[in-house]
Structure 1
């Protein structure tokens, strides 16, 4: 780990611990995943800052603080299958891939998918699979998941997606609010019923329909 990377990581860990994130497995996964690899070259000095960073296709990377806080809330564990809707840079998928058994991450933009694949390959993370597909549509043939994470805001959590959860499975998704930023919502499946918990507002963009063939 380079000096700049090491200093950024150390500052990030201090902020995370102040916010209550102390999971050692998670912090170890973060340390092993250089955020600068996922950051546009001209923004590398801000890789570990508490701000969102623009990337290709009009998308952005959420701050490192938010990305890791969400994984902590999701409680990703060894042996689990995770679905991520909205690959972006691939940073969140990479961290989860160091903990979970398998991570399937999907995005509508070909450019984002290809570059995320390159980064995942460079890190030799065999547990992470990235596909270009419409995250709003069903993912047939993929079975169920222990954890599902949306990084794009939706009007409501799709019923079909919730039904892909195993019992005791958890889904995190930003839900669009009127005249306010999206609200991060946690849904937990308990047998045939679901428990909802409203968490906090997040700066995510709305999910879009279809594949973006030009990008």
Structure 2
């Protein structure tokens, strides 16, 4: 079976699973289809590229299962013309999908290895509206203005106010929160003026965010 056929069959199976969960956004699914998942998965895990399992990547990080990644983006509700901030680049898969829907994506990660590899993958897809930086995401990101959408892929103990301050009015942020020592839940905050509406979405496997840049990796 060719790599292209594997991608096609994997995506088709994913669409069926997502539709069963009520995810049928055509723009989002088209963006996912245009982003070959196998490009973001270590070669030894290629057969699991479209599975719901988490996949280990460099620096002790992991690539969330494709079902979870798309569910998160479904709840983020990105629209054309929007600026998006992603905290936790990882493999770059979510960055690439979001770039096909948004005007601009700024994504940061504490690991130089991850940002370098993600940049290579993004470049190979010809995406020019993604900016990737090595940065400490635990204490906010200053000097970049405001964003329409913010998504975080590492867990905080409470909703980080320094990021919610960077939302435009009407903007929303999705981040995992540690509900207890062993429970992590995805939460969405929507900003209206100076007020925030909080909605708890579902449990996720994300690990607590780690402060400071990685010095070796």
Q: Which TM-score band (shorter chain)?
A: over 0.9
- For the residue of structure 1 that corresponds to 2:175, the secondary structure is strand
Counterpart position of 2:42: 40
Give me the CA root mean square deviation.
0.9
Q: CA deviation at 1:50?
A: 1.1
Point out the more displaced range, 12-21 or 174-183: 174-183
Of 7, 16, 22 in structure 2, the residue corresponding to residue 20 of structure 1 is: 22
Counterpart position of 2:97: 95
- Moved runs in structure 1, 4+ residues, more than 6 A? none
- For the residue of structure 1 that corresponds to 2:198, the secondary structure is strand
CA–CA separation in structure 2 for the residues paired with 1:104 and 1:207: 18
Q: Does 1:164 align with 2:136?
A: no
Output the TM-score relative to the length of structure 1. Answer: 0.98
Of 150, 153, 159 in structure 1, the residue corresponding to residue 152 of structure 2 is: 150
- For the residue of structure 2 that corresponds to 1:2, the secondary structure is helix
Unaligned runs of 5+ in 2: none
Unaligned runs of 5+ in 1: none
Aligned runs of 1:195-206 on 2, under 5 Å?
195-206=197-208
Q: CA deviation at 1:143?
A: 0.3
- For the residue of structure 2 that corresponds to 1:33, the secondary structure is coil
CA–CA separation in structure 2 for the residues paired with 1:213 and 1:4: 38
Q: Does 1:124 align with 2:126?
A: yes
Provide the aligned length of Structure 1 versus Structure 2.
Answer: 215
Q: CA deviation at 1:138?
A: 2.9
Point out the more displaced range, 130-139 or 4-13: 130-139
Counterpart position of 1:194: 196
